[in-house]
Amino acid sequence: MFILNLNFKDLPKFLTHPTLKSNTGVMYLVLLVCLFLLLCFAMSRKSSCKVYLIDFVCYKPPASQKSSKEFIVKQATQHGYFKQELLDFMKNFLERCGVGDSAYLAEPYLEQTYKPLMKDARREVEMAIFGSLDMLLKKTGVKTDSIGILIVNCCVYNTAPCLSSMIVNRYKFREDIITYNLTGMGCSAGLRATGLAKQLLQVHHNSYALIVSTEGITENYYRGKDRSKILCNCLFRVGGAAILLSNRISDHNNSKYEFLHVIHSNTSRSDRFYNSIVREEDDAGFLGININRDLLAAAIATIRPNIITVGHLILPITEKVSYQINYIIRKLIPSLNLQQYIPNFNSTVDHFLPHVGGKPVLDDLQQTLSLSDEVMEASRTTLYRFGNTSSSSIWYELAYVEAKGRVKEGDMVWQIAFGSGFKCSSVIWRAMKTVDLGDESNPWTDEIAEFPVYVNCEPVPYEFAPSK
């Protein structure tokens, strides 16, 4: 009773109490002080405000930029940079990489000669950024002077003034807008930017955050002889997305999703994984992005801890206990050769949307996590229709499941993206409402009945150089 009734006036009396002459008394004092500090901390903490995704828009380039696999090889032949051996390799890879015949190339690739200028590269990103932003602002009705945070991510294309300044100038955002321009962060940058936006919205209350994810491929066509660098010529396509987040209570009823969790993992400390994707010059001085045979190992090693953390956050207790019991038995009695228990995320997650990457990565991810073809449908179909648009790919996937009419109120959506570094990011959303069909701004709307398309092809041969 003495301890329970203690206050600051009684503290001198308590400190001279006989019980403190023993170790037990000291322990009680330390415990009391700790509990008091924890209570003060808990009472002083402000609850985190909720963050909502009001809406997003994905850019759909003009039909004139659609490029079939046959056309890509034809253009590569006409440009004259590659010998027949490399052209055969490119044709073989294109047939197996999972990209279809309707994805979009940058305009300079379509010309008889490939001689891109800086203005061509700028035009590509302006078309993607302004095309998606114009539709998003019109769709949501949010005024530019209401947006307090702007985050733009684009990996290999850099310009001065930066892309965030270009957007501020075009749309005349207010002078005190907080802007960030993320570069060199690879295909996971879109979700990294989303996580950053959430953190900023926890500090800047009653505000909107605008995220723009894109990539510029105009100046990044590899013209050398290294097979590992030619892969990007085959995989990457034009695309972009604009996303609007809010922490305003008034947006609770008109938002599509509630932001639940963001999880980041990074294995850059490993030289092997760090060098699995590197932009560098070849022996002849041609610049390109090198992808080597360590890519799959880097992807799985970086994704695994990310998924484990996601599991701790969202899986039901039964799945967590089953996983722990399986883990303990395998460690204590290895002679049983018990297979690793893979938690059933389907019990919690309604839509799993991994970054499209390329067919080999998706194949390995599906096998490692024992995922069904239905679960992987959005990723594979996005890869087929739009190719790898880098950080914006995961938004084309979400647009796909929306266009299919599969997003219902209360559904949990899991986006996961991974890329150079090596890095992985996950974002978990909860659908605030059932998404209506027939959205004209959805890039899939006018052709959704044609999908999914299942492509059976042989595995991609990994004949690339090892990491340095």
64, 200 contact by CB (below 8 A)? no
Domain co-membership, 81 together with 228 = yes
**25 and 164, same domain (yes or no):** no
Same domain, 274 and 301: yes
Q: What is the pLDDT of residue 409?
A: 97
Residue 295 domain-assigned (yes or no): yes
More confident residue, 3 or 435: 435
**Same domain, residue pair 187 and 206:** yes
Kindly state whether residues 79 and 19 are assigned to the same domain.
Answer: no
State the Cα–Cα distance between residues 190 and 187, nearest whole angstrom. 7
* Residue 203 CA: distances (Å) to CA of 105, 199, 207, 222: 40, 7, 10, 43
CATH code: domain of residue 211: 3.40.47.10
On whether the CB atoms of residues 241 and 53 are closer than 8 A, the answer is no
3-state secondary structure of 281: strand
pLDDT digits (tens, 9 = 90+) for 294-320: 998 999 899 999 999 999 999 999 998
Confidence of residue 457 (pLDDT cuts 50, 70, 90): confident
- Calculate what percentage of the chain has a pLDDT beyond 90: 74
Hey, is 293 helix, strand or coil? coil
Whether residue 187 is predicted with pLDDT greater than 70 in this model: the reply is yes
Please give the residue range of the domain that contains residue 248: 52-450
H-run or E-run covering 323: helix 317-332
Q: What's the total number of domains in the chain?
A: 2
- Percent of the chain exceeding pLDDT 70 equals 89
Quick check: helix, strand or coil at residue 243? strand
Tell which wins on pLDDT, 464 or 207. 207
Predicted local confidence at residue 15, as pLDDT:
47
| Domain presence at residue 466 | no
Residue 372 counted as domain residue = yes
Tokens standing for residue 102: 């309707």
Is the separation of the CB atoms in 144 and 173 below 8 Å? yes
Q: For residue 161, give the nearest of 126, 190, 136 by alpha carbon.
A: 126
Asked if residue 63 has pLDDT above 60, the reply is yes
- Are residues 37 and 64 both part of a single domain? no
Q: Do 194 and 322 sit in the same domain of this protein? A: yes
Whole-angstrom CA distances from 155 to 158, 181, 184, 241, 242 are 8, 10, 4, 14, 16
One domain, residues 25 and 146: no
254-288 pLDDT per residue, tens: 999 999 999 999 999 999 999 999 999 999 999 99
Q: Do 393 and 367 reside in the same domain of the chain?
A: yes
460 lies in a domain? no
Q: Is the pLDDT of residue 462 over 60?
A: no
Question: What's the pTM value of the predicted model, to 2 decimals?
Answer: 0.88
Please indicate, yes or no, whether residues 132 and 24 belong to a single structural domain of this protein.
no
Token pair 């999880």: residue: 263
Q: What is the DSSP string of 244-265?
A: EEE--GGGSSS-SEEEEEEEEE
Average pLDDT, the chain: 89
pLDDT at residue 338, as a whole number: 86
- Whether 22 and 153 map to the same domain: the answer is no
| Predicted confidence band of residue 364 (pLDDT cuts 50, 70, 90) | confident
What is the band of 344 on the pLDDT scale with cuts at 50, 70, 90?
A: confident
- Are 38 and 58 contained in the same domain? no
Whether residue 466 is predicted with pLDDT greater than 60 in this model: the reply is no
